[in-house]
A and B are shown apart, each in its own frame.
Chain A
Amino acid sequence: MSKEIKIKVCTGTGGMAAGGENVLSLFRNALLSAGIDATFSEKCSVDKVGCRGFCGMDLLVDVIVDGKKITYKYVKPEMVDRIVQEHIIRGNPVVEWMVEDDFYNFHKKQTKVVLSQCGEIDPEDINAYIEVGGYDSLKKVITSMTPEETISVIKNSGLRGRGGAGFPTGLKWEICHRKKSDKKYIICNADEGDPGAFMDRSVLEGNPHSVLEGLTIGAYSIGAEEGYVYIRAEYPLAVNRLRKAIEQSRQKGFIGNDILGKRFNFDIKIKLGAGAFVCGEETALIASIEGKRGMPRARPPFPVDSGLWGKPTVINNVETLANVPYIIKNGAEWFASFGTEKSKGTKVFALTGKVKNNGLIEVPLGITLREIIFDIGGGIEGEKMFKAVQTGGPSGGCIPAEFLDLEVDYESLAQVGSIMGSGGMVVLDETNCMVNTAKFFLEFTQAESCGKCTPCRVGTKRLLEILERITSGNGKEGDIELLEELSYYIKTSSLCGLGMTAPNPVLSTIKYFRDEYEAHIKDRRCPAVVCRDLITYSILEELCTGCGACKRACPADAIRGIRKKTHTIDTSLCIKCGTCFDVCKFKAIMKS
């Protein structure tokens, strides 16, 4: 039995939650007891790998026998034995547990650069990264390129910051490189505060060395000897892998003193963030590293002029930095061959919401929203109608169906009132109320405002209150105009990006779904039947069998009726919890 066997178990955060560690050790034990002993171990490996994006199907396990890869989905501990027995020993894959077409469709339109090794290599082993060409770019840069040459490659590639604003990375490095200073810093922004976003986390968990390599190349280019990774403490796995990676990289001499025998010193520290969204904003992040409260300050001066401890500082996002080694390796032209005129390369998105295939995707910029949502995402869950897609995290806008063929890049998204942000993408269908959606996002930004400036601290609170009154049926004539007026005021007068973008969900939903706002205000009606205060529950006589299930389930004792007779709901007692709606097997409960 001299087969070459490779087993790859997803141990990203999603995989871990689905029992990845346990399944991993079960595979090891099962293989050992099946007699595939140490003599085969060179050819037989059971690896933990990072997230491969399709978290909706976790736990995913690749079984590769002599190069032939079969992927299993929803793997549970009790399934391990059968996979080992039937597939590995007897050579008959367990067909019913294998992933189906949607798994392959999910990957078909993707182009993986940053994520290319995530889910393929063991993130806790530097040799695995080196085997696939890792740190070659760093070697190339340090041994054969000047900082100026490195910067010009990055500039020519057209790489723009993936943290949200899309500032050209090469230009940022160049400005900092030109600054004269006894000390400079480079910081990797791994704060990733957008709810639902896990792009940076997956890269750090799946391939931390690529980020470290990018950071070191950046440091070499601008002339920094000290770097920080600012990462939220809520990412324990990523922090852990990053720590290991830094240690291993130091041992191999990729960071530390006299890197690769050249006169270049660079070391990396980790700074844990406490989880405030605003600490992702660069000036707040710097304040936080300095030990102060994470509050933004006015720019200018920009961090490249006066950043950490007042020294010139470059801040780059995780994904931005993870692109760098690939650009150095494959050249600027290769990178620029993906994307649109002004937005080059690929972008990782966290595709969530009402799509069939939830998960992490990497696509070339310029792809249309339709391709993302319907080809990769597999369309809307439950064959419902697509209504809008919210991009860019909590401060992005909602883009309606008429723009489905929009080619995604920084400019086009901004044109339709949204943003690229860090790459959140929440798909909404006909059962989502747009006023409620705006309210949801505003609740987040309001709670996360640092409180420094009036428009954001008080203004967003008032916006939220107006939205609350509209969704609870107390909207007033003129509220839409008031929302618009206040939103423009907040956008133009806030200090930092948080306040400047917080009204986007409100403005974009008013722009594209004004009728929904009007229905709430004028008719006291929620067209998507979501806003609790505007819903009434009633029982349809012709469908009710009098089974009494609703009556037993109602926590407010609001349902009357005798067995086998039509039941009724006393609306004065009903607390609109929706329990009856969920328990009725005959669809006799009506929500209106």
Chain B
Amino acid sequence: MVTLTIDGKKVTVRKLSTVLDAIKKLNISIPTLCHHPDLTPFGGCRLCIVDIKGIARPTTACTTPVSEGMEVITTSPTLEKMRRTTLELLLSDHPDDCRVCERAGDCKLQELAYFYGIRENHFLGERRIYKKRDGNPFIERDMEKCILCGKCVRVCDEIEGVGAIDFAYRGFRTKICPPYDKDLDCEFCGQCVAVCPTGALTGKMWKQKGRQNLKEIDTICPYCGCGCNITLLIKRNDVIRVTSKPETINEGWLCVKGRFCYEFINSPERLTKPLIRVVPKESSAFSVQQTNPPFLSLSKELFREASWDEALNYIADRLKEIKEKYGPDSIAGLSSAKCTNEENYLFQKFIRAVIGTNNVDHCARY
């Protein structure tokens, strides 16, 4: 453990901590844009600069390891002036777009501009202009709003292990992009979207669906047995976005399905009751595959609604019949990643012990 003094207060932290960790432990507020507790320190935005006794120039708290007896000052007129200049410079190269920005109200840059009361900017000048032309289905990349904090790059590399994006070009034209500045083509986990402090990265499906008065409901992702915690953002009765909180079991990280594939919730095509086929399969003009897209319109002719009891009894009777007539190996079971581990366990038990066959498999193997 190491003890140091911050703004006159003593604090003891673990040996490998940074000065920023110590500042946070004391609950002293300090602005940051490129810092993320789960990612390697970057030191790019320069907002968390502090004065450390014995070091001539201001130093970034996020990159500096603590040492015994260190004396740190987090605020002074000079430091605040420098932070202000940093913000002004960032804003001088940022579209004046908060009115229509998806992230307004939830944007770290906007919030800092508000706290520092930045209205005029005496560094106005050229702004980066980029055409939006990314053909990917999930992530809106508005690189004019990017402040090059590098969080997306680090999360993609360090958390996701994908490395789909990186810094490219140099100087004022430095830009985050996929290789050769092509369209994003990756896992689409959206981790980058989750960590972006500005409106540079947002979900395509979120567009103009609402920013204020959203109801938040914490729940569990229905897609797989991992059970990631998700939070549904709801406007009226529609789920318009999915997020996940950092303090959850999955630390706020999700996969493409959990983060972006929530459209089924409000889909009119969603099955909510069991259906039993009324027209025998042979006489149906449609193969199983073909029935899929126009399901809704066809279902009325081909299927009828049933209660759960009726449906389950029907399945049990048919399975028994088939087993008696053709033997247990004529039946196979395929279960789903959407089920819990316990459900999957029971399912294979059912197939093996009740039906009596080893023909059982799971969708996650494919």
Contact = CB atoms under 8 A, between A and B. Distances in A.
Given A298-B60, A489-B82, A493-B86, 8 more contacts: A451-B174, A452-B42, A452-B150, A458-B172, A461-B126, A462-B123, A492-B82, A493-B82
A151 B234 CA distance: 69
A452 B170 contact: no
Interface string B100-126: 000000000000000000000011011
Interface string B136-180: 000000000001101000000000000000110111111000000
A482 interface: yes
Interface residues of A, number: 31
Nearest to A455: B46
B73 interface: no
Q: In terms of DSSP, what is the predominant structure of the interface of chain B?
A: loop
A491 to B, nearest CB: 8
Q: In terms of DSSP, what is the predominant structure of the interface of chain A?
A: helix
A461 B126 CA distance: 9
A458 B93 CA distance: 8
A35 interface: no
Interface of A: 276, 278, 293, 295, 297-298, 300-301, 446-455, 457-459, 461-462, 465, 482, 486, 489, 492-495
A310 B86 CA distance: 31
Nearest to B40: A297
B90 interface: yes
B33 to A, nearest CB: 9
B126 A457 contact: no
A457 B92 CA distance: 12
A462 B171 contact: no
Given A300-B64, A486-B123, A454 B171 contact: no
Nearest to B78: A492
A458 B44 contact: no
Interface in B53-103: 57-58, 60, 63-65, 82, 85-86, 89-90, 92-93
A7 B358 CA distance: 89
B232 to A, nearest CB: 36
B46 A457 contact: no
A467 to B, nearest CB: 12
Given A276-B170, A298-B60, A462-B89, A452 B122 contact: no
B82 A461 contact: no
A541 B43 CA distance: 63
Interface of B: 41-46, 49, 57-58, 60, 63-65, 82, 85-86, 89-90, 92-93, 122-123, 125-126, 147-148, 150, 166-167, 169-174
B86 A457 contact: no
Shortest beta-carbon contacts, A-B, top 7:
A451-B174, A298-B63, A458-B89, A298-B43, A461-B172, A465-B125, A447-B171
Contacts of B170: 276, 278, 447-451
A278 B170 CA distance: 10
A320 to B, nearest CB: 24
A452 B171 contact: no
B148 A457 contact: yes
B171 A495 contact: no
A294 B353 CA distance: 61
A462 B147 CA distance: 16
A300 B65 contact: yes
A461 B167 contact: no
A213 to B, nearest CB: 35
Given A493-B46, A493-B82, A495-B46, A457 B171 contact: yes
Contacts of B45: 453-454
B44 A461 contact: no
Contact of B171 (A293, A297, A298, A448): A448
Given A451-B148, A454-B46, A461 B125 contact: yes
B89 A459 contact: yes
B176 to A, nearest CB: 10
7 contacts: A452-B148, A455-B85, A458-B90, A458-B123, A462-B89, A482-B122, A493-B49
A453 B171 contact: no
B89 A454 contact: yes
Contact of B43 (A278, A293, A446, A453): A453
A493 B172 CA distance: 17
B159 to A, nearest CB: 17
B54 to A, nearest CB: 13
Contacts of B49: 493
B85 A489 contact: yes
A451 B93 CA distance: 13
Contact of A451 (B65, B86, B122, B167): B167
Residue among A454, A459, A486, A495 with max Cβ neighbours from chain B (10 Å): A454
B46 to A, nearest CB: 5
A390 B310 CA distance: 91
Contacts of A448: 170-171
Contact of A457 (B57, B64, B122, B174): B174
Given A454-B44, A489-B82, A446 B171 contact: yes
Nearest to B169: A451
Contacts of B150: 452
A449 B167 CA distance: 12
B213 to A, nearest CB: 34
B105 to A, nearest CB: 23
Contacts of B174: 449-452, 457
A492 B58 contact: yes
A459 B171 CA distance: 10
